[in-house]
Amino acid sequence: MAIKLLTFDLDDTLWPCMITILRTEERLHQWFANHHPDIPNQYSIKQLRHKRIQLAKKHQHIAHDLTALRKKSFSQLSQEMGYSPQQEQQFIQDAFDFYIVERNKVSLYDDVIPTLERLKTNYRLGAVTNGNADIYRIGLGHLFEFSWSAADAGQQKPHPIVFNSLLEKQKLKASEVIHIGDDPISDIQGAQQSGIQAIWLNRHHSPWPTVLNPPFIEIDQLNQLPAILKAL
């Protein structure tokens, strides 16, 4: 059956994730220093990160939704600082507005835009992510037909509901979709559980975990994709 849709993971597939997150946390901490100095006076970046991890464990019902979790962490901080309800709401809004702008300042890998532009002529393209990066803020909205997130699905990859709900929403069969991503578990195993063929983008030449079923295809550069798909 002909492939109709290509779905792509975002973080560490289209851009390096960790440097983006670390830079965002540094800038957010500086924003706190400029506007709410009691917070950085009490908590380092590392301590704030630990607090969010503990918050996610305590509030499992929103652990998959990184936007809701981030706002919950801001709410927790505002209460610790003794803000009034009105001050709390303003703080959450201002802090998240700053955070989400910084979160979406990514450095795309060089092969991303040329490859997506080429693929778009023959396939529908979609994004499937566990994070809260915004393809429209990043400037990729014209290349993707949609973005489907863990927050939309109600669980994070590799939970089967992520890809199953996507197939249902897009009215496609698993055999009509190929997923491309960097993570052996969340991307490759996650897609395979729904019957979707998955291509592993292994930019760093990492060894494949032998306990997992192998990917459909392995590549180390995204620009290899058009020729591989053409040969299928």
- The CATH number for 146's domain is 3.40.50.1000
| Mean pLDDT within 146-162 | 97
In this structure, the answer to whether residues 126 and 227 fall within a common structural domain is yes
End-to-end Cα distance, the chain = 11
Q: What is the pTM of this model?
A: 0.95
CB neighbours of 213 closer than 8 A, spacing ≥ 6? 188, 189, 192
pLDDT, residue 30, reads 98
Question: Which domain covers residue 23, as residue numbers?
Answer: 18-103
The torsion of the CA quartet 178, 15, 190, 162, rounded to 10 degrees, works out to -90
In this structure, the answer to whether residues 98 and 132 fall within a common structural domain is no
Locate tokens 């079923």: which residue?
A: 213
pLDDT at 1 over 90: no
pLDDT tens profile 187-201: 999 999 999 999 999
pLDDT tens profile 69-79: 999 999 999 99
pLDDT tens profile 108-127: 999 999 999 999 999 999 99
Question: How many domains does the structure of the chain reveal?
Answer: 2
146-149 and 124-129 strand pairing: parallel
- How long, in residues, is the chain? 232
Q: Is the dihedral of CA 120, 134, 167, 204 positive or negative?
A: positive
Which residues in 5-163 belong to E strands, given as ranges?
Answer: 5-8, 124-129, 146-149
- The CATH number for 61's domain is 1.20.120.1600
Residue 8, SS3 per DSSP: strand
